[in-house]
Amino acid sequence: MTLHWLLYDAQAAALVQRGVPLFAEDFQAWRHGPVSRELCGGRLSPVPLEDCELLRATWATYGHVRGAPSTQ
């Protein structure tokens, strides 16, 4: 699983749980999964410290997965 997939899943979790996005950047639907152009360019906005638990939970759930989630 790529960093893009993990951040995409964390963004979705934030929207479901809190009703607000984790960060402002958008994802694009590319052939092999979601891509953030800002992440590719190293320009992803900082995530507030209080949101790190959501990132940790996403990593704990999906960090071990190899490849795109839809292929598992």
User: b/e map of 19-44 (b: 16 or more CB within 10 Å)?
Assistant: eeebbeeebeeeeebbbbeebeeeeb
pLDDT at residue 7 above 60?
yes
12-42 pLDDT, tens digit each: 999 999 999 888 888 999 988 899 888 888 7
Confidence at 72, pLDDT banded by 50, 70, 90: very low
pTM of the model: 0.76
**Which of 30, 32, 31, 39 has the alpha carbon at shortest distance from 7?**
39
- Cα–Cα distance between 55 and 72 in angstroms, integer? 21
38-65 pLDDT, tens digit each: 888 877 777 788 888 998 999 898 888 8
